[in-house]
A and B are shown apart, each in its own frame.
Chain A
Amino acid sequence: MSLDGFGVPSAILVMALATYSMRAGGFWLMALMPRSPRLQRMIEALPGSVVTAAVLPLIVREGPVAALAIAVAGAVMLATRKDLLAVLAGMAVAAIARAAGL
């Protein structure tokens, strides 16, 4: 497959600008917003909201193996508070469950 001389570089440039506008845009816009306790609470709710909004649809899409792996990781994290251990336990469960044909 032959690509035009400037095709790929211009694609990279466009993708880079679009992505950086997201990364910097929120920060820049937020500086213009008036501070309020409500806004502060929204920010505090955001990390957990991003996680559930990303993970829940993935569990539904990927099925029981993902649900099981994530549940085990959560339980290990709850018990030990060691995130590396939680991640390894979750991956091990996923690998075993898939090897077992789940």
Chain B
Amino acid sequence: MSKDHDESARAPFVSRAGFNLGARLALPVLPGMIAFGLAVGATAARKGLTFLDNLFMNLFVYAGMSQIVAMEAWPERFGVVALASLALLCITVNARMLLMSASLQPWLGALPAWQIYPGLHILTDPSWLISMSYRARGGSDAGVFFGASAIAALAWMSAITIGYLAGALIADPRRYGIDLVMPIFFAAMLVPLWRGGRRSIAWLIAGVVALIVQQFIGGWWFMVIGALAGAVAGGFLDEP
């Protein structure tokens, strides 16, 4: 994309209409978030966390994938080593958020810190994708980011609470294809982001690097390393 486009993009503002639009754009992903939240709440109950532990973990950590992985390896005693490995685990599983929040900066960087820094706490994969896709269509209303993120957080907090209370009653999510709903939504989001040939080379590089990292390094690094490789490739391949 040319530099003119860059400069013509207007300064960010937050409007109620943008907030509502963001919330509406997030609707298709809510069933997936709710299903995932139910599973996280049920896992917390199964692992012996109290109702408040579950509530606070979701309020303050608010990153379902890393919480599930952490709770599956939940220590019995919380010494320095156990705490350090929990921190490291959250950093690896959530390292992609470093890239995601970095990519919001050129757009949302002009917002006052008291708005954006608390707002970043509710940044999630779907609300980020929705916001970036809206931005790629030329939008600049930061309310879209806040609206999509807020409704996702609301759905999540309800789901983890119900999941905790219902516990074992939660049916096997695989049966209804619910475990695949997030990747399905992500893949559907690729369609409107498609800008033709050269851009797709970067995506392909991201996917291949992620596969290689998953195969040879394992763990959770594949997502962030693959995404970073794709972004770098996009920066260098797509010379005007």
Contacts and interface: CB of A to CB of B under 8 A. Distances in A.
A89 B49 CA distance: 36
Q: Is the interface of A mostly helix, strand, loop or mixed?
A: helix
B133 to A, nearest CB: 7
B83 A53 contact: no
A100 interface: no
A58 B190 contact: no
A91 B180 contact: yes
A98 B147 CA distance: 35
Q: Is the interface of B mostly helix, strand, loop or mixed?
A: helix
Given A49-B227, A95-B175, A15 B90 contact: yes
Interface of B: 1-3, 6, 27-29, 31-32, 48-50, 53, 56-57, 60-63, 66-67, 70, 75-78, 82-84, 86-88, 90-91, 94-106, 108-109, 116-117, 120-121, 123, 125, 128-129, 132-133, 136, 174-178, 180-181, 183-194, 199-200, 202-211, 214, 222-236, 238, 240
B102 A53 contact: no
A19 B183 contact: no
Given A38-B236, A42-B234, A14 B83 contact: yes
Contacts of A37: 2-3, 6, 240
Interface string A44-69: 11111111111111111110011001
A50 B223 contact: yes
A66 B180 CA distance: 7
Interface in A59-91: 59-62, 65-66, 69-70, 73-74, 76-78, 81, 83-84, 86-87, 90-91
A57 B211 contact: yes
Given A17-B87, A84-B27, A98-B175, A52 B103 contact: no
A69 B185 CA distance: 11
A96 B175 CA distance: 9
Nearest to B48: A1
Contact of A94 (B32, B120, B180, B225): B180
Q: Interface size class for chain A?
A: 35 or more
A22 B89 CA distance: 12
A53 B98 contact: no
Contacts of A13: 60
A69 B177 contact: yes
Nearest to B205: A49
B6 A50 contact: no
Interface in A1-19: 1, 3-4, 6-19
Given A7-B77, A52-B230, A55-B186, A95 B203 contact: no
A92 B120 contact: no
Contacts of A59: 183
Contacts of A43: 102-103, 106, 231
A54 B94 contact: no
- Residue of B83, B123, B186, B238 with highest tally of chain A CB at under 10 A: B186
